[in-house]
């Protein structure tokens, strides 16, 4: 599995709890890619910042040996498995939202929205490393 990232400098800081939640979502999504996607799958992790929320997106391209998306969906547990349920439950606790499922083409998508309150947060650097100066 190859991982590509698009993690821009944060325009605001996050609490340690928010950082832990995002790290847990990334960890669970990558574990699912390792479990279900071919070894040659390319996984992309992107983070988008808006004034009142952030969106974390983890996708895999399905690799070259991937089953069709409909078949991959059938192979999943009916409720999305324990990891997806955990991600959804954690985001619900923070008034966030989770979408997880097959992409239109090959591969899988996990997209998490987390409301934030800019100005009331701590350093994001502990989650993604030092942020670049603007």
Asked whether residue 131 is domain-assigned, the answer is no
Q: How confident is the model at residue 1 (pLDDT cuts 50, 70, 90)?
A: confident
Q: Over the stretch 51-96, which tens digit does the pLDDT of each residue have?
A: 889 999 999 988 776 455 544 444 444 445 688 999 999 999 999 9
Residue 70 lies in domain = 2-118
Q: Over the stretch 8-24, which tens digit does the pLDDT of each residue have?
A: 888 888 888 988 999 99
| CATH, residue 35 | 3.30.565.10
Asked whether residue 62 is domain-assigned, the answer is yes
Asked whether residue 123 is domain-assigned, the answer is no
Asked whether residue 124 is domain-assigned, the answer is no
Asked whether residue 21 is domain-assigned, the answer is yes
pLDDT(133) > 80? no
**pLDDT score of 47:** 94
Q: State the total domains in the chain.
A: 1
Q: Are 111 and 48 spatial neighbours (Cβ–Cβ below 8 Å)?
A: no
- The predicted model scores a pTM of 0.74
The pLDDT mean for the chain works out to 79
Asked whether residue 133 is domain-assigned, the answer is no
Of the chain, the percentage scoring pLDDT greater than 70 comes to 74
Asked whether residue 56 is domain-assigned, the answer is yes
Residue 120 CB-density burial (10 A; 0-12 exposed, 13-18 middle, 19+ buried): exposed
**pLDDT score of 81:** 61
Q: Are 55 and 111 spatial neighbours (Cβ–Cβ below 8 Å)?
A: yes
Asked whether residue 9 is domain-assigned, the answer is yes
Q: Are 53 and 116 spatial neighbours (Cβ–Cβ below 8 Å)?
A: yes
Q: How confident is the model at residue 126 (pLDDT cuts 50, 70, 90)?
A: very low
């Amino acid at each position: 599995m190859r991982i590509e990232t698009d993690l821009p400098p944060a325009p605001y800081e996050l609490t340690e709890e928010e950082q832990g939640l995002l790290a847990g979502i990334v960890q669970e999504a990558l574990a699912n890619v390792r479990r279900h996607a071919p070894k040659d799958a390319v996984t992309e992790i992107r983070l988008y910042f808006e004034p009142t929320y952030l969106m974390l997106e983890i996708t895999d391209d399905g690799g070259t040996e991937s089953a069709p998306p409909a078949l991959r969906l059938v192979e999943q547990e009916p409720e999305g498995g324990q990891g997806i349920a955990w991600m959804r439950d954690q985001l619900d606790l923070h008034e966030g939202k989770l979408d997880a499922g097959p992409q239109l083409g090959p591969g899988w998508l996990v997209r998490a929205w987390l409301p934030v309150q800019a100005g009331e947060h701590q350093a994001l650097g502990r989650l993604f490393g030092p942020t670049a100066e603007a």
